[in-house]
Amino acid sequence: MKTPEEQKQKQLKNFKKLSEEWRNEKLGAQTPDLYKSILTAAMNIVQLAIAKELDQDLANLKEQVKVAQQGYSDGTKENNLRIQFLVEVLRGRGEDVPDPDDFIRKAANGEVKEDDNAL
């Protein structure tokens, strides 16, 4: 977890993404104007969220992505179930078997091969 100082530094770094002109303008603005700017930005966020929900092109693209990744999702689900089943079989035989996630983590890190029989 980041320290408060690290979090503050990250926030300051992110603020640099805003134009310097805009930041300087707001630094010199009166308090009521700052509240107005906050409300304007909040309304913009809501309007963008609504526009995103109503964007048919985006909805079509999301559907295409969903269909395109279905094979990957189905394969992942099935392999997760296989691992869970086999872990339970081994535990039923009295084996001290790690959690299924441990197998996946080690595989992702390249720490095991198919012919390994232990973690």
**pLDDT tens across 76-102, in order?**
999 999 999 999 999 999 999 999 999
How far from 19 is each of 9, 24, 37, 60, CA to CA, in Å?
18, 9, 15, 34
* Burial 47-72, CB ≥16 within 10 A → b, else e: eeeeeeeeeeeeeeeeeeeeeeeeee
Average pLDDT over all residues of the chain: 93
In the block, which residue shows the tokens 């309304």?
43
Question: Dihedral sign, CA of 16, 19, 22, 24?
Answer: positive
pTM of this structure: 0.59
Among 61, 105, 54, residue whose Cα is nearest residue 83? 105
